[in-house]
Structure formats: C-alpha cells, structure tokens
Structure 1
C-alpha cells in the first residue's frame, strides 16, 4: 500500500521557465500563478516563465517564485486525485507544505514569503555572510568543525540534509576556516554556495523578529494533514506551534534528514518532490533505499509520476 508524502523544495531550486509548460496545459496551475500576480507587486508569473535570471535570483523574488510554482504543481496533483498523507518542505518549502495542508491560504502565504525573503536578505549585508556545503563528514564531526572555527567568527550548521551532506552558514572568514578544517578532518569536498545571506544561522535572528509581526497578522488554521517541522522534525498542526516554529526556522538548523526519517517511521513509503529541481529526490535516495522517490516539475515528470501511481486510489481505498 502506497503512503504518499509531498516534499517541497527550498531556495536554490529556481530557474527561468519553471512551471511554464505545466501551467500552459493545466488551468488549475495557471490559476495559482494568476492568484500570485494579483497579490504581489511584481509579475511573478512572467518572472517564473521567462526570467530574467538575475531578477529571479533576488531573494525576495526567488521565494515567492518557487512557492508559487510548487503550489501550482500541487494543484495539478490534487486535481488528478493524488492527495498526500503527510507533507514537509525544506526551509521555504515548509510554507508550501502548510498551504497544501490548508493551514494558510494561497493569497496570504505568497506575499508572506516575499516579505520573508526581504527580511532574510536585509538581516545581513551582502558580503558579510556565506554558506557552504560539506560532503563526507558526520553530524558530530561537523559540530566539532564549527566549534573549532568559532574563533574566526560565527559559523553554525544550517542544514542536516542527508548522510554525507551538511550545510554550514555564518560569517565569511569563519566559513572559509571551517571548510579548511573540514578538509583536514577528511571531507571529500566543500563548496561555497551561491546564496546572498547565511540562512538558518543566528545572524538572521532579526529577520525572525520581523517575520513574527507578519505571522501575527495571518489567520492560520489547524492542518488537515500532518506537517513535519524543520526545526525539530516533529508533527505540528496547532496554530501557535506553527507560528513559533516558522519564526525559529529562519535562524535554526533545518533537520531535513531527521524529518525524512520521521515520515518514514510514520509509514510514508512514496515521496513526491513537488516543485522545481530534484534536490530533495537526491537527498531522499541517500536517506533510505526502501522508499519510492518521484518528482513533478514538468510534463515529462508528471507523466512518469502518474504512471508510477496507477491504481493508487484503489490501494488506499480513496
């Protein structure tokens, strides 16, 4: 029996043209893009479909663009009768998860993440912070690396993505030193990431404060399906916990590997990455060999996923 979880990508998955092919074929997807245009002060649909890349890569544009694309694709799956048992999203993707779980309306969540992107970018001046992916070290080793590099500035674990890949964030000098230490400890590779701020570090605490003011204006509802939280890999559904965790999430480590393992422990065996890119599918395959990994970002991957799910309604009794 297939137990389906939707997983939604975060910042970095964006590219010019995302969502265009599907939106032109599926009115329910185009409707989401049109809704986004109505509530934003930019033509997010044109930005997703046609770029330019330099505008798309500005954080306060990137976040609503990825979110809109993910929600448009989720609308197609819903219309095809594919309703997840559980949802989760990496960082920004967590907002798509809450919207899919009917906790926050599309017209509220899209402008919210635009402001989130703006707050996150404003928290640290460009050129001060950085992020790096470190391959081949364990969680305990990476915590030790950050401790050893702390004399050079703030450096913290930002994302526990999957076995063998952990992301760190902090001040540039400390990040560079941490990469040196990681290599000395046996890291296979380190890579400075093309991001404009040290996301999910204490340097972004001011963004969380500003985000709280915006979250307080929004009427969240209890979730209609379980959502796994980034900050502690727990199932959350009540409104107060949702808001508190979204505030913490801005400056706390994303426990993605632990979140995936929680969903697997809860019986999820089929994971669909809903949105641009295939990063989460790659992580999932490294986390467990026992699960089915699917994704939807264009017509080809939609057809492949629907074919893989043939007979799903019968199996689940839906």
Structure 2
C-alpha cells in the first residue's frame, strides 16, 4: 500500500477537537502546550471548550486545526512508529492544511507554523472589509463550467474559482455582488444547488492580495528546510520539495485556486493507493471517495481512530 498523509482546512474545526487525544497521549498534550506557548494564547482551552464563535474566527481556526493535525502525526509516530520518510510518498493539505503538511514533514518548526497561521488568519480577515466579499459552492459544476460562470458574473468585479474540491464541487470567491450574480447564473444554467458559504472573507481570490503580501514578508523571516517527503502544492497540484519554491507557492496560494481534485489525481498517478487524513473532521476522506473510488481514505482524529489505524498499519 502506497500512502499519502493529507491535512484538513478551515471548516473542519469543532469545539472539543483534540481533547480526547490530549487526555490519552502525553505527546499530544505537549503539542498543544507548545502551540499555546508559541502564540502566547490558551488556544487549546478554546479548542476543547469553545465558545464556537471564537474558535471559528479565522485567526484561531487556522493554528488550531494545524495543532490537532500535528498532534495526530506525533501520536502515530510515538505509538506506532509511523515515519513519513519511510511510510509515505507524499503529504498534502487543503489551504491552511498545506502548512500542517509542511510542519508534519519537517519543513517548518511547530512554533513557526503556529505563528505563521495566526498571522495568515489575521491578514486574510483584514484584507477585505466584512460584507464586501463572499464565497459560494456551485454544486454539480465541473471546473470549466464554474470558470465560465465566474467570468460572466464578474462584470468588472472579482469573481474566480477558489476551490476545485471534487467533481461537482467547485467554490467561487470574490466581491459579494459578483458572487450573488454567479449564484443566479449557475441556477439559470441548470446547476442543482448553489450555496453561499458562511465565511468571513473571500478566500483564494485576487481580493486577498494584501494577505499574500503579508505572508511573503512573514515567510522571509522563517527557516524552511526540505520536507522529508514531497508536498503536493495547492497551486500546482504537483510535488515540491525545494524550500524557495515552497515559500513562493505558499504566497501564491493565498490568492490562487486550491487545486485539490487535481492534487489527489496527481498522487494517484504517482502510485498512491491510500490517503490518511490526519486531524479534525472527515472532509478530505469524503472528497477522496468522490474524486477516485479506487483510492482508499481513512480519517484519524481520536484515540479510537489511532488504535484502528495502527492495528491495520502494523498488521
């Protein structure tokens, strides 16, 4: 079995995430303490106890999701000897999950990753005034259809494909009026459902350029080393290991489309037969089934999941 480890993005957070892991494994507890110290914030208490509206804030959700993902990977390493260099072909993450992937693969320190994601969340939130931007899921659209709808809806404003998640699930992002026009056009063109998403900013489009500039400056100050396995970039849907290229692509990723569907297909073409989603939720495992049923996918987020995965891993 050829594995890739994948790491969830925003939207997978939920109050209580990581708590069972911290109670069961000292290494997970220490991971959360390390993130708390790096941010000078009791983020772990917010993760375990809420309130939900505070955890959902972009600047909290991003480092929190990364912390759970890295804790899962450290537990798997300690409890079952899982070593990415030996046991994985690739790592990949959805949007902020790309930072989790890079941290898990040793490209960034945990403290640097936490601080980068806190800044990334703040910069993305500040880039566009609340209410000016929006995102919508065009369900039933393929990428080409969604791109045509976005182009026709723009009318001089920003409207672009932000996430190509799976066949029939493309997300558009941009100015609120343009996104509303895209919803109307999509309906007129026969798409089954178009949903405006409950997000606080229009991620992965040109309106995020101020956040991209902030990340370019921040990434220049942080040490990046070659990951122990290649990372499949959101921007290129192909493998990258060079630290300078990793930096460049992380800046592009802020305004660029997340090419998740293509990234999964790239890993499959390279011989990956199984995806392991490390962290909160089961979104990526669900998308994998829609992208290519021949690639198996499991989610690991609780002590029971850890036990189940390691039993199969060491069988």
Same fold per superposition (TM over 0.5): yes
The counterpart of 2:246, out of the listed 238, 242, 246, is 242
Question: How many residues matched?
Answer: 310
Q: Can you list the C-alpha shifts for 1:157-210, whole angstroms capped at 9, x where unaligned? A: 000000110011011111111011111112111111111000000000111101
Contact 1:152 1:173 in 2 (8 A): no
User: What's the counterpart of residue 309 of structure 1?
Assistant: 313
Following TM superposition, the consecutive aligned residue runs of length 4 or more in structure 1 with deviations greater than 2 angstroms are 299-311
Contact 1:295 1:302 in 2 (8 A): no
CA distance in 2, matches of 1:201, 1:33: 31
Q: How does 1:1-318 map to 2 (within 5 A)?
A: 2-79=1-78, 80-84=80-84, 85=88, 86-151=90-155, 153-311=157-315
CA distance in 1, matches of 2:284, 2:39: 27
Query: What RMSD in Å do the two structures reach over aligned CA positions?
Result: 1.1
TM-score by structure 2 length?
Answer: 0.96
Task: Give 3-state SS (helix, strand or coil) of 1:272's partner.
Answer: strand
Task: Give 3-state SS (helix, strand or coil) of 1:250's partner.
Answer: helix
CA distance in 2, matches of 1:159, 1:53: 24
- 5+ residue gaps, structure 1, are 312-318
The alpha-carbon deviation at position 41 of structure 1 amounts to: 2.6
Task: Give 3-state SS (helix, strand or coil) of 1:132's partner.
Answer: strand
CA distance in 2, matches of 1:218, 1:92: 17
The alpha-carbon deviation at position 152 of structure 1 amounts to: 6.5
CA distance in 1, matches of 2:58, 2:164: 22
The alpha-carbon deviation at position 66 of structure 1 amounts to: 0.7
Contact 1:230 1:259 in 2 (8 A): yes
The alpha-carbon deviation at position 309 of structure 1 amounts to: 2.5
CA distance in 2, matches of 1:56, 1:296: 21
CA distance in 1, matches of 2:280, 2:159: 29
CA distance in 2, matches of 1:304, 1:193: 34
Deviates more, 1:86-95 or 1:135-144: 135-144
CA distance in 1, matches of 2:159, 2:169: 16
Contact 1:137 1:186 in 2 (8 A): no
The alpha-carbon deviation at position 261 of structure 1 amounts to: 0.7
The alpha-carbon deviation at position 81 of structure 1 amounts to: 1.8
Task: Give 3-state SS (helix, strand or coil) of 2:16's partner.
Answer: coil
The alpha-carbon deviation at position 83 of structure 1 amounts to: 2.9
CA distance in 2, matches of 1:150, 1:131: 13
Task: Give 3-state SS (helix, strand or coil) of 2:184's partner.
Answer: helix
CA distance in 2, matches of 1:300, 1:194: 31
CA distance in 2, matches of 1:8, 1:101: 12
CA distance in 2, matches of 1:289, 1:11: 24
TM-score by structure 1 length?
Answer: 0.95
- 5+ residue gaps, structure 2, are none
